[in-house]
Structure 1
Amino acid sequence: MKNTTTVKKQQIYDEYQEYLKELLKKSIAKNPVESLYNTLQVSGMHYGHWDPADEMYDFFDDFNKLLASESKKNPSSKRVYRIGLLMYSHALEMALPWSFLANLLHILCGRPYNVSPFLDLARRKKGSLHSIPPSTKQKIGRVIELAKEAKEDELIKIINDFHSDKIRNSFYHSDYCLTDSEFRYSDGGIASSLPLEKVQELITKCFAFYEAFFNVHGWSKSFYKAVKSYHKWPNYELFEILKNEKEVYGFKVHFSNGQVAKFTRETDKVEAINLSFDDDGSINFFVGNLDKLTKQWMLNGKPFED
């Protein structure tokens, strides 16, 4: 794989990172609470190592080292392209970026965070309780639809800069051949080819996008860490942002009757207590005894004072 200049790679990354950060800022300005839910990727609870996003960090770390090592030996070798295409295809399959972007666009369009933004795209198997999950192509298609609705044409351009479902699909299904100058594939249809320079461009832009995305996602966690911890809601609920030394990791909602709803996302566990998800995927809470609600913001059984 011929080296794209460091300057060009950095330029692409800077462009993507600047846009994604501004997009996230718009989402936060539109609805800071729903945007926090999106940053935390609020979901059901689980214990142990069940978060694929954590695994992806390790995957990219391992394969970046392998790619760098092989590139030093022979940057134009087929092995380097195969490693790059494996990382490219694997990256496109990641759930977090597409779920995050879909919800960010939902928020910009005035809708709440959706715990399963692609659930309606799943197909039920005949005679089975199981369903076929939406494909990567369907998820990206939904994000593009939402970007059109939100009038975020730049996001559509960025996605189209690096996304090729034909390349991803043909590589993952071993329906391709590499020559010294081309990536040849049929993808179940008419045989086609793509110059390796174009393949390199797709991979470079894909890596730039994902690096920018994860940095911006990390920035959002740091942003909420800097926000004050307690916020009074109109109906005497007290919203608490939970933070550690590095970033935000969850929230609590304290109700005036002493009930507490809580969500936390940590490496070894995700806890969701007294949370419920409505039919539209939005977040709701189990408030407890309604007769014991008072017109007083409470924290740990005591009246809250700023």
Structure 2
Amino acid sequence: MSVAKTPNAPFMTRYQQFYRSIDKAIMDEKLSEPFSAYDVEQCCDGFSVGECRTYLSKYARGNSGGRLELFERLAPGQYTRLRFYVKRDAYIDLFEPLFLPDDPVSNDIIKYFAAILRVVGMEDKGWDPHAESRKMLNDLNGFLKVEMPRQLFPEPDGTQWRLGLLLYTQIVEMDAPYEVLLNLLRFRLGDGYSPNPYFDYLSEPEKKSYRKRGIATGRKIQIIKRLSDKAGLDVGSVFDDFYDNRLRNAISHSDYILTEEGFRCRGGTSVTRAFHISFEELDQILTAAKAFIAAFFSIDHTARGFWGGLAGRAVPYDERYKGMMEVLSDNAGLMCGFKVHWPNGTDSTYRRTENGVEMVNCAVAMQRGTLDLMVGSYASEPGSFSPLVAKDGKPVYSPREGNKRALLWPGDGLKQ
């Protein structure tokens, strides 16, 4: 089972397909910037010149409808992509081999799903900090788009920068992006899955102090870079564009001043650690950080949308026990879990939703880097079909959630 990669995936909206087609055409050196509607029509199949003209105008900076801004109008009929989206899409391309691997099966697809779903164990509603972090990011990003009334904000430009700094610390301190990326790298390298993906790569002194101190953000990035290099990918280079431990530390400890020239940090009581970042450089850092988290959310959505589109199908998972796996999806059509059906009527289920985590007959086995799936009772006198089915018996699978047809081995097979 391989994952199809296309800029016109069915779960993208039409304007997203249009933008990604332009992005791909530029990457393939079929289109150069600035470009016109006619240029795009010549390079991007499936879009008429009239449709290209409409989308370019409709999603240009300063559009009258308050729509998403994707393009900059340089002159009448001439456009370029906005810098943020250029950066975001470059990151998406780097992340794609991890989130949409050519071979999601050989290293155990359950471990791949566990990485995307962030499997940690049972959780009630209200215990997923990732969900709250996303809401916080949306709130801060929304404030950044609001025109600040001067009667409430005498220095609106300064307020915008301060909100940007809060957004930056929220992005770099979030656990989920680092954990997902590292677990996907572990999967690609055959190193298994772990809710604490860093621990195996720490030195012995670091392991001893981990319980008290945890692991610093910079160290997480070092490990991601190491595994990225080992996997022959360039994922680790993304962090070079925006992660600055001095900047993170200065914001977190409120040890900074915004001057007319830029960001200044005193360095505590020691002026030897003082440093300065111009507003131009700071803008580049903040833009890259926002592009990183936008790329992470986007490719995560794309991957879960792809697998959610296969909900209701059952494919062979375990040849010996004859288990068949079903992808579970939420109301938005995004993968939210999986269920392995065993031929004795037992299920192994993991599902993450807004209401918490459902985890039945499966458990994280951290030392072995995997999820253990419980298969239920073994047959006292098994036949040749499966150790779970008696020699004179027939396999009995529970019904699928997305498909009520009787489930028979090998289900829908491996073909898409």
Instruction: Report the 3-state secondary structure (helix = DSSP H, G, I; strand = E; otherwise coil) of the residue aligned with 2:328.
Output: strand
What is the match of residue 250 of structure 1?
337
Instruction: Report the 3-state secondary structure (helix = DSSP H, G, I; strand = E; otherwise coil) of the residue aligned with 1:263.
Output: strand
Deviation at 1:42, TM superposition (A): 1.6
Which of the numbers 131, 143, 153 marks the counterpart of 1:66?
A: 143
Deviation at 1:197, TM superposition (A): 0.9
Larger CA deviation: 295-304 vs 165-174: 295-304
- Size of the aligned set, in residue pairs, is 299
Deviation at 1:123, TM superposition (A): 5.5
Q: 2: distance between equivalents of 1:75 and 1:298? A: 69
What is the match of residue 25 of structure 2?
none
Unaligned runs of 5+ in 2: 1-71, 73-80, 381-387, 400-405, 412-416
1:285 aligns with 2:285: no
Supply the RMSD in Å over aligned alpha carbons.
2.8
Conserved 8 A contact 1:123-1:133: no
1:58 maps to a residue whose letter is K
CA deviation map 1:192-244 (0-9, x unaligned)? 21111111100001101111110100111111112362111212112121123
**RCO higher in structure (CA 8 A, sep ≥6):** 1
Deviation at 1:76, TM superposition (A): 7.6
1:263 aligns with 2:263: no
Larger CA deviation: 41-50 vs 238-247: 238-247
Unaligned runs of 5+ in 1: none
Higher CA-based Rg: 2
Q: 1: distance between equivalents of 2:130 and 2:149? A: 29
Residues 108 and 187 of structure 1, relative CA distance in 2, 3 Å threshold: farther
Residues 186 and 234 of structure 1, relative CA distance in 2, 3 Å threshold: farther
1:299 aligns with 2:397: yes
1:8 aligns with 2:83: yes
1:182 aligns with 2:262: yes
Instruction: Report the 3-state secondary structure (helix = DSSP H, G, I; strand = E; otherwise coil) of the residue aligned with 1:69.
Output: coil
Conserved 8 A contact 1:225-1:243: yes
1:19 aligns with 2:94: yes
Conserved 8 A contact 2:92-2:295: yes
Identical pairs, percent:
26
Q: 2: distance between equivalents of 1:149 and 1:56? A: 30
Q: 2: distance between equivalents of 1:45 and 1:27? A: 30
Instruction: Report the 3-state secondary structure (helix = DSSP H, G, I; strand = E; otherwise coil) of the residue aligned with 1:276.
Output: strand
Deviation at 1:49, TM superposition (A): 1.3
Output the TM-score relative to the length of structure 1: 0.87
Output the TM-score relative to the length of structure 2: 0.65
Q: 2: distance between equivalents of 1:136 and 1:297? A: 49
What is the match of residue 169 of structure 1?
249
Q: 2: distance between equivalents of 1:52 and 1:287? A: 31
